[in-house]
Structure 1
Amino acid sequence: MERSLTMGLNDRWFRRVGIPLIALLGDWIFYDEINQQHGWPFWLDYMVSLVEVSLLWTISRYGIVQSRRRYPTLSQTRQRVVFQAIWFLLVTGLFRLITSAIYDFTMVWGYHYTPLRYLYNIAVGIFCVIPIATIYEGLYLYWQWRVTYFEAEELKKMTLQTQLESLREQVKPHFLFNSLNTLQGLVMEDEKEQAVSFIINLSQVYRYLLQSNEQLIIPLSKELEFIRAYVDLLKTRFEQGLVLHIDVAPEMLTYNLPPLTVQMLVENAVKHNRVSTACPLTIRIFTDAANNVVVVNNRQPKQSAVQSNRMGLANIAAKYRLLNQPDIVIHQTETTFQVAVPLLKPVSV
């Protein structure tokens, strides 16, 4: 709030230019013919006008500051403007009435003021104050709009970051839980050597998982390196029953996507399909002309259907919505299940 108040006082250059200009134009437009009657030199008339404008500007400016202290927010614009309008009318009218009375009683210009001249002077003062007040309020509204806009953008970024962090926290235990299930299967089958190898690989993959998961997006090349290591872990259990084919255009490797996107698609394929040497589960990862990375697998559903909350696909879709990117495209047939995920163009440096 202090910024909104001090910003209104940062008008040194506006006053340095505005006061002499209003004094000059006001004296020339409204009083040039009248001034010729008393025969004073123009510079002396201008000095009197300059003093009047300076005093009136200062008094009007004080009212502007007070209005902002009382009604500082954008939603209080109406109250602030009404306060200023009443202030300007009363103060300007009183100020011009007093100065006119002084000129009238002292006859400094060589003549008495008629009631019409009093009204004329008050009207001129109000007419000169209106554009000044409009500029002040216009700049103040613009500044408030900018502050509101950037605060909204900052809040949006903070919300985005919070939601993405929440999604990340969902992925970590989910991935670990599935890995431990695989390890449990190896132990129960008394495959000690494979279990030890699996633990070593798991520690390496999970370390990479934690590191990459601290970023909003990562290059496709990094995600594919992780996928190869991840599938190697899966092959510890499934051996030849799991086949991976990667056919990605070299120029697409620098494109980006949210971390673990492809991993979740591979994990879903393994979770919902039979994987055996007799009926291998084949997973293909490739890029298309629309700048998508596509993950497709042959459908061979397990006899006992696995209960799914579709967290993986929902997680990916949520990340793309939060990043303000196109939706993922899911295409399913009797024999295949395919998901196309948009890639984000690399930022040019």
Structure 2
Amino acid sequence: MHKLNDKWMRIIGVPLLALIGQWMMYGYTNVPYPNDWRIPLLFIVGTVLVWEANRQGILLSRQRFPEFGQTRQRVLYQLVWFAIFASIIRITQTFFYHIIGLWPAENYFLFRPYFFNTLVSVVGTVQLAAYYEGVYLYQRWKLSYTEAQELKKINLQSQLDSLKSQINPHFLFNNLNSLSSLIGSDAEQAERFLDELSSVYRYLLQQNNRDLCPLSDEITFINAYFHLLKTRYGDAIFLENSVESRYLRYQIPPLTLQLLFENAIKHNVISVNRPLTIRLYTEEGHLHVANNLQKKKLAVPSSQIGLQNIMMKYKLLDHSSVLVHHDEHTFLVRVPLIPPMAEQALV
């Protein structure tokens, strides 16, 4: 994406523009065009040097500010670069003209030729750069559009997979079995279990058209979801919630926590002798979801669709800093918390 497709411009376009710029300069300064082959040759060389220097500025600006939303910073970077390097090259070239006698003027520091020679180079570069920036913006827009369409597919698939995981016969059997046991032994707990189960389904059905939701909603949902897990696994699973209240208004993609909890349950041993502990905590504007790592002896096939889903959502939200880390004892996923719109406007 950072490549500048200007092969023919460098071979033909830049020398041709150099000759046109030279003709304009002599017309503006009212200096007779000398019959000396060195004049067009040196002007072409100077123009090539200007473009080669400035194209590096274009490439560097794309490396530093590659995103569609960073267009302003990228363009300002290019303009400053063009002004500095075009001025250095053209002022040096014009002074060299005086030294070797190609510019007939007694005063080496005559303002007009220096100014116009530099101006033509800067303006010419800006026009060329505007064309390439337009092409670059179109490419970035096309990529963003393609990614947005992919995100829609991913969201639909994620919603479908989440719903399937909750209504599949195995899940329903486990929860109905738990509910049946509670009805016979503890009617009050059975009623609470039924309330949490309905909360889980209600939340899943409400996420169809949401790209982001408050962290508080996710925490409320995951508490209901974890209640179902706790009823099933008992003292074999624990949840530690250390989320700071000041972050509850911040936003994350919906069902992020469910995907991470499912990932932990799918790949780890869960037993009373080896309990699984999932920790939620916030730190420096990020939400951390960590669990003690105790892999099953028979590894469960993993496509990592859940983690890829989360990473893709954040990438399309211009937050690509999802971190996945694990060692012998811990598996950790860190996701950015997106400030509420009112706070974003103040940044």
TM-score norm. by structure 2 comes to: 0.51
2:333 to 319, 337, 340: 340
Aligned with 1:259 (options 238, 251, 254): 254
Q: Displacement, 1:287?
A: 2.7
Q: Distance in 1 between matches of 2:282 and 2:223?
A: 20
Pair 1:185 & 2:174 matched: yes
Taking a change above 3 Å as real, the CA distance of residues 172 and 326 of structure 1, as seen in their structure-2 partners, is closer
CA positional deviation for 1:294: 2.2
The answer to whether the Cα contact below 8 Å between 1:248 and 1:285 also exists between their aligned partners in 2 is: no
CA distance in 1, matches of 2:270, 2:322: 32
- Structure 2: 5+ residue runs without aligned partners? 25-34, 36-122, 184-189, 340-344
Task: Report the counterpart of residue 325 of structure 1 in structure 2.
Answer: 321
Residue of structure 1 equivalent to 2:116: none
Structure 1 unaligned residues grouped into runs of 5+: 1-72, 93-118, 120-135
3-state DSSP of counterpart to 2:323: coil
CA RMSD of aligned residues (A): 4.9
**Counterparts of 1:74 and 1:295, CA distance in 2:** 47
1:246 Cα shift? 0.6
1:170-319 aligned within 5 A: 170-179=157-166, 180-187=169-176, 191=180, 201-202=196-197, 204-212=199-207, 214-276=209-271, 278-279=272-273, 281-302=275-296, 304-319=298-313
Aligned pair count?
Answer: 242
Distance 1:198 1:290, change over 3 A: same
Q: Alignment partner of 1:307: what SS?
A: coil
Paired with 2:324 and 2:314, the residues of 1 have a C-alpha distance of: 8
Residue identity in the other structure for 2:332? V
How far has the Cα of 1:321 moved from its partner? 4.7
1:164 and 1:317 map into 2 onto residues whose CA distance is: 11
Q: Is the 8 A contact 1:182 1:237 kept in 2?
A: no
**Which whole-Å CA distance do the structure 1 matches of 2:325 and 2:298 have between them?**
27
Overall identity of the aligned pairs, in %: 31
Q: For residue 46 of structure 2, what is the aligned residue in structure 1?
A: none
Q: Residues 190 and 235 (structure 1 numbering): CA distance in 2 closer, same or farther, change over 3 Å?
A: closer
**Residues 142-164 of structure 1: CA deviation (Å, up to 9, x unaligned):** 54334323323322321332232
- Counterpart of 1:156 (choices 137, 143, 158) is 143
Deviation string 1:244-299 (CA, Å, 9 cap, x unpaired) is 221112233334433322222211222233445x3474434333544432223344
Q: Deviations over 1:158-210 (max 9, x none)?
A: 13322322332332233233324211334578938879987875554344235
Seen in structure 2, the aligned counterparts of structure 1 residues 215 and 157 have a Cα distance that, compared at 3 Å, is farther
Residue 243 of structure 1 deviates from its aligned partner by 2.3
CA distance in structure 2 between the aligned counterparts of 1:313 and 1:186, rounded to whole angstroms: 26
Q: Give the corresponding residue for 2:156.
A: 169
**1 CA distance for matches of 2:208 and 2:288?**
21
Q: Greater Rg, structure 1 or structure 2? A: 1
Alpha carbons 1:330, 1:338 under 8 Å: kept: yes
Distance 1:209 1:187 in 2: 18
